[in-house]
A and B are shown apart, each in its own frame.
Chain A
Amino acid sequence: MEQLHLVSNIQRFSVDDGPGIRTTVFFKGCNLRCAWCHNPECIIAEPTLQFTERSCVSCGRCEQICPAGVHHITEDGKHLIDRSKCIGCGKCAYNCYQSALDLNGKAYAPDELFAEIRKDRHYFESSGGGVTFSGGEPMLQRDYLNTMLKMCREAGYTTCVDTAGNVPFEWYREAMPWTTLFLYDIKLFDSARHEQATGVPNGRILENLRLLTDNGADVFIRTPVIPGWNDDLEEFRKIASFLAELPGREHVKLIQLLPYHAYGVGKYNMIGQRSKTEDVKPPTGEFMQQALQFYLDLGLPAQIS
């Protein structure tokens, strides 16, 4: 049976995920576990109950309505959630008058998803934008992804795939003809540290990038800068020289250094988890400039985004 493909969110007027005005489709499910992930709800492949505690008035309607006993309001008005029991029916969310509960993750048939993407075609045209598939790791749903990429390209939209690079290269080879641009993450150069931070080593990730550019695929390289996890200059120096030596270096169209931001922290609480980067502060401007300089020195098209 074909796996159900869940979309976490369709973000329109997305202007930071590739060129122009884009519609970004966030798939659920990922094979990395980056400590700083700012879309933790997309790591989980299944429908995910999100709870905004400050909106909750402890009315107890969810407790009455839930068929699986997920919700419990204590005597002193605390709202406890046992997510292990959740069957993803969404009844609690529908009946939450405060919109404190929400069920994240919706299945779209390809033509349904395309209909949503198509709605912003005028803005794609005026801005040279298009659609970006992100997540999570969109490559994990490659058949579905390829179907979508093909539909979008045939309609004349540019297509971006936002990927962490940790899948067999063959999968990229399938997607390449329909992909205008890969937004490709390089998070750390040192493989042991990479594994520590993301749960996987980075050998395949670096190799896939080499193959992509060598095969003529255009890429934007994106590196988040996370104090405490990857913020020593040596890492950036190594990434920069790796990029400079890529066989298809001219296909690296842009390198974006992304300073850590804390927008994602609240989302962990919403799904009953704790962020590992709660206390992390954004890197200093000085550090960002120093890191950037390695790239500029090698003539790479890098910027702080």
Chain B
Amino acid sequence: MESRWAVPEVKCSERIAKIRDHRIEDHDRSQIPLRDIIYREEFAKHPEEPAAMRFARGFSRFLEEKRIHLNEYDILAGFAYRYTYNTTLPVDMPEDYDPRYRPDFGVESIREAKECEEFHGLKPGDADYEKMEFFASAVKNWLYKHWESGHILAGYRRVVTNGFGGLIAEGEEALKTVDDEHRPYVEAMLMVDRAAVKYIRRFAAMAAEMAQTASTPEYKAQLEKIAGACANIADKPASTFFEAVQLVWFVHELLYAENEPASISLGRLDMTLYPFYKKDVEEGRLTYEEASDIIDALWIKFSANLHAYQNVTIGGGDANGKFAGNDVTKIMLQATRRLRFDQPLICLRYTDDMPDEFWAESMALVKTGTGFPAFFYDNACIAAKVRSGIAPEDAKNYAMVGCVEMSTPEKEYGKTEVLRINLPMILQLCMDHGTAALTGDMFPLKDDRDLDSFKSFEEFYDWFKDELLYFGGIALDAINLLDPTVMHFYPTPFLSTTMEKCFQKGLDVTGGGTVYNNSGVNLCGMANLVDGLEAIHKMVFEEKKYTLKQIAAAMAVNYEGFDEMRNDLVNHCDKFGNDKGRVDDMLNDLVAAFAEMSEGYRNMRGGKFNLGLYSVEDHAKMGLRTGATPDGRLAEVSLANALSPEQGLDKIGPTAVVNSVLKTDLKVATNGMVLDLKFSPSFLESDRHMDALRDLVNAYFKNGGMEVQFNVVSRATLVAAQQHPEQHQDLVVRVSGFSAYFTTLMKTTQDEIIARTEYANM
């Protein structure tokens, strides 16, 4: 019987298969150190200039001197690496990193704190100085994680529709009225725009030259097409689908050359490209199949950077809320299904009126196990954007940046990953007078109390909540001290030029140049926190089986010799994710309290702090650095992923997990949230189950849900891949708000994914 959810088989064309199979040969690592060398030379040559000009000079000279490369069989020109880590932001980088992979680096927090203290003229003994020192030490301990952006949703559409020539004209206009203070920012932006024009012309020349000696007529034709397109889009807007895709790629490549590339996201790429597609098809210049090849070629370019959070948003409503998905949307879903890379990340904006064919295509992709697409509910996401101060017409155009953070294409510089807070570690600190279990470092509590002094759980809980907000407040203060230093030390003129208003304001985007200038603050280990509090509530205050001090003592020795206590804490207390009342409600209360505090803050660029309930891979990384916690979790074990239950402790199935999650009012999650559901692959084989899944998603969204994603790789496959990575190099799995090649993940993260509860044969 034919399935109602059947979709066409997809296969790469011969040309694409060739590009795909040879893609590794494009890697030329020699150009990586060149970027930082040139930047440093330019910095040294012009020490008197503002940073924006020095960065613009480095950028321009790098584009002139870097080697470029084109294969005669290519469909698109260009290639991007992670060129930089050392000049853009203070980052601790291992010397020997492979640029394709994401190295295990962290912010060099001590250097950053020093720069911040220098910028503000802070001295030991100043309250702000002490705050920065506290913050730097907390970042080292993974009590906080701090990441100065690199989470970018650039104005691709703005460049495609205006051309670099249009941007230059805008800059020249701005130059006429700009004052001296702002002039360097405008000049820097103009300089990088002109560099971009020249850079694209280098490809026009190269392709034209190669066309003359091409080995087949097909190759020659395509090289001529590339040459013509590059000559046109070097300074003019794109005029065809092909040119639009090529220009999107160049913008992306140049962003890679400028930024610390934590996540450079592409916005609503199907909407950016569709007008070109439609016109070309109508005028007989393009077929669905040709467009598919071009998108495949683009996807192969994205694939050069593994684990890179290059996020593409597709689908979603138009200005009237009507589903606006189109052929390009479908091509992108199919390209992802065909190629099965970990890049780009695919986020689908879901609306109530999304036609079945898009659901079928989406689920066909989900079934590959890659975790794409993640589903975002328009109604919830648009409301979140409005709550964070975005005008309704802009909010409707939201797209994802990084993992699941909603941003406004070309109008918002969101700094979505600027802060993450390790909640279970705060509880651990509270149980031991502010001493971090694994390092012994001290983080003095606001009100250090004797654990024997609490007469009721309510008293303990109120105290903890106060400490939580205190630790959150310190972190936000520190972030605000750091905020203005970024434009001073690490401006990004190229990114700025793609964003609206930077020319007019004469400001770099890092200094509040664009329209919306928010920041993110994200919570991590939420299930561990409330499970721990619930365990204390039950075992200390209700059953009175243990005292707080006894639990603290057991935590201090990682529960060694405390098996009975650990059995009580782990196996006989309610856990988040099982649709029980109290423990779920506690998370809602704590998240609401935190949101009330963080929404009261403003960042130094006039923006808000958006609250995120997702964890990227930090639940594993923070877990590694966190001592034992009152939920019975042992030291160095991963925290719970995002808003998910503790791994393996949800025993009632997906509806119970969804209900638990929905007890938290997600309207406050203005920086996004993640709900990860893991199903066994066999579950999705029948139409009945596929229907049930959609009904589950609909009920979730109708009752307050914002995001959901599916993991459908069997446990057996994951275990096999861990044991024999060489046989599973191409296994892509959903980690948190993103997907990645399983074998490239650190072991703690792999273990965490394996331990998640799998639904179907419960």
Contacts and interface: CB of A to CB of B under 8 A. Distances in A.
Interface of A: 11-13, 15-16, 20-21, 94-95, 97, 99, 119-120, 122-123, 125-127, 129, 263, 303, 305
B702 interface: yes
A21 B567 contact: no
A119 B566 CA distance: 30
A70 B8 CA distance: 59
A295 to B, nearest CB: 14
Contacts of A13: 653-655, 692, 696, 759
A281 to B, nearest CB: 18
A12 B564 CA distance: 31
Nearest to A129: B695
Contact of A12 (B563, B655, B695, B699): B655
A120 B692 contact: no
Given A97-B567, A126-B698, A303-B1, 6 more contacts: A11-B762, A12-B656, A120-B655, A126-B695, A126-B696, A127-B692
Nearest to B570: A97
B691 A127 contact: yes
A126 B692 CA distance: 9
Interface string B677-709: 000000000101101100110110011000000
A90 B543 CA distance: 18
Interface in B161-207: none
B212 interface: no
B708 to A, nearest CB: 14
B571 A97 contact: yes
A15 B688 contact: yes
B651 to A, nearest CB: 10
A246 B699 CA distance: 38
Interface residues of B, number: 28
A99 B1 CA distance: 43
Interface string B568-586: 0001100000010000000
Interface in B547-571: 563-564, 566-567, 571
B761 A263 contact: yes
A21 B695 contact: yes
Contacts of A11: 653, 762
Nearest to B572: A94
A21 B694 CA distance: 10
B699 A122 contact: yes
Interface in B738-762: 759, 761-762
B653 A12 contact: yes
Contacts of A94: 572
Nearest to B571: A99
A15 B689 contact: yes
Contacts of B12: none
A123 B759 contact: no
A123 B566 contact: no
Nearest to B566: A97
A11 B759 CA distance: 12
A122 B571 CA distance: 29
Contacts of A20: 692, 695
Nearest to A119: B579
A152 B46 CA distance: 78
26 contacts: A11-B653, A11-B762, A12-B652, A12-B655, A13-B692, A20-B692, A20-B695, A21-B696, A95-B564, A95-B567, A97-B571, A119-B655, A119-B656, A122-B699, A122-B702, A123-B655, A123-B695, A126-B695, A126-B696, A126-B698, A126-B702, A127-B692, A127-B699, A129-B695, A303-B1, A305-B686
B31 interface: no
B504 interface: no
A127 B761 contact: no
Nearest to B683: A15
Contacts of B566: 97
Which 6 pairs across A and B sit closest by C-beta, in order of nearness?
A127-B695, A126-B699, A15-B692, A13-B653, A122-B699, A97-B567
B659 interface: yes
A95 B565 CA distance: 10
A150 B699 CA distance: 25
Contacts of A21: 655, 692, 695-696, 699
A61 to B, nearest CB: 9
A123 B1 CA distance: 27
A16 B759 CA distance: 14
Contacts of B563: 97
A120 B564 CA distance: 34
Contacts of A15: 688-689, 692
Residue among B571, B656, B688, B695 with most chain A CB within 10 A: B695
A123 B695 CA distance: 7
B29 to A, nearest CB: 49
B659 A125 contact: no
Nearest to A59: B563
